[in-house]
Amino acid sequence: MNSTHKKSSSIFFLSVLLLHVFVFVSKVDSFKTRKLPHASSSYRLTSNDHALVGATYVGVGELQGPEDIAYDKKTGIIYTGCGDGFIKKVYIGKSKSSDTYNVESWVNTGGRPLGVALGCHNELIVADANKGLLNVSKDGVVKLLTDEAEGLRFNLTDGVDVAHNGMIYFTDASYKYGINDATLDINGGIPYGRLMSFNPVTLKTKVLLRDLFFANGVVVSPDQSYVIFCETPKRWCRKYYIGGKKKGSTENFIESLPGLPDNIRYDGEGHYWIAMGQANSTSNNGGGILATDLTGKTIAFYTDSNFSLSGGNKIGDYLYCLYFSNPYIIKLDLTQS
C-alpha cells in the first residue's frame, strides 16, 4: 500500500472512530434560529435539519477528501487541500448557478494539506499536516515557512488564517502525534496542541497558547483584534486577543457545540461558519455547519442524518461544504433553505 493511500485510509479511520469516542453531546435542538440583523442578501439564514435535500455535488471524483476552503473572489476560485496531496483549484466564478465546475490539480505539497488561507501577495498559505506551514506562490512554487517552535517540531499542522498585516496564525493540533495517530491524541485526553503565529518579515515563529486539546481551525476577526480557534474534543471555540487592551488574553467564543468543531471561516458578511463532525453515531449526531454572528450567537445550523463536515463557507447565495473523506464539495442553495 502506498503512503498516500495509507494516509487517506488513516484519516477515514479517524473519522469513523470519532463517532464513538464522545458520549456527552449537547442536544441539537438547543440551538435556536435568530434573525439576522444585517444580512446583505434578500433572505435570512434559517436552520435546516435536512440540508442535503436538493444539494448539488461539485467536483465528484476529482476532489479526494477536500478539507478546508479559501475563496478568491477576484478570480472566482476555491482552493482546497486534498488527501492525495494536491491543492485543488475549483473554478466557480463563471458557473455560480451551474452544476458544472472546472477542477484543476494545481500543486502537490508531498504531504497532507489541511488548512488553507489566502495571503497578502497572491500567495496561498497552507497548513500541511506532514510538512508544516507552507507558502505556495501564485506560480505554484512551494516553500516551507516553519515546521517547529521552541524546539518542538509540528506533528499535525492543522488550521491557518492570515491577518491584514500579513501575520499568519496557525495551529499544531498535536506536537506528539501525527495525522496517522491522531486518535491517540484525542483518546488520550492530554493537551498537546498549540496556537502560534509566524511573522513573514522576521521569519519568527511564536507560541501564543500551549496545552490545547487538538487545536484545529483558526480565523482572524474582521476587526483584526482577535483570532478564534477550535478545540475539537472540547466542542468549543475560543478567542485569543492579538490587539487592544485585552491583547494576550483568552475567552470563550462559543461552547457546548452540537458536534465536533473542525475549521471555522468568516464570510465577509458578519458571520462565522463552524464546520463540525459527528459527535456520535445517532441520526441527530451534531454534524453539519453552524453560523454565528460576531458575538458567538447562533444564527443558523445546517445538518442532516450522517452529516459530517471539516470545512465550509458561504459564497454568494450558496454554502460550500467540505469533508476530508468525501470525493466532492457539497453545495447548498441558501435561497431554497
Q: Work out the pLDDT band at 2, boundaries 50, 70, 90.
A: very low
pLDDT digits (tens, 9 = 90+) for 226-262: 999 999 999 999 999 999 999 999 999 999 999 999 9
Q: Work out whether the CA dihedral 188, 127, 57, 26 comes out positive or negative.
A: positive
- Type and span of the H or E element at 18: helix 3-21
Phi-psi region of 224 (alpha: psi -120 to 50; beta: other; left: phi over 0): left
pLDDT digits (tens, 9 = 90+) for 119-131: 999 999 999 999 9
Q: How far apart are CA 173 and CA 14, in angstroms?
A: 14
- Per-residue CA distances from 115 to 26, 53, 97, 265, 294 (Å): 27, 28, 27, 11, 21
pLDDT digits (tens, 9 = 90+) for 146-202: 999 999 999 999 999 999 999 999 999 999 888 887 677 777 788 999 999 999 999
Q: Work out the pLDDT band at 19, boundaries 50, 70, 90.
A: very low
pTM: 0.85
Residues 6+ apart with CB under 8 A from 178: 129, 130, 155, 156
Instruction: For Cα atoms 312, 274, 316, give the angle at the middle one, nearest 5 degrees.
Output: 45
Task: Return the percentage of the chain with pLDDT > 90, whole number.
Answer: 73
Q: How far apart are CA 290 and CA 274, in angstroms?
A: 5
What does the block give as the cell for 334? 441558501
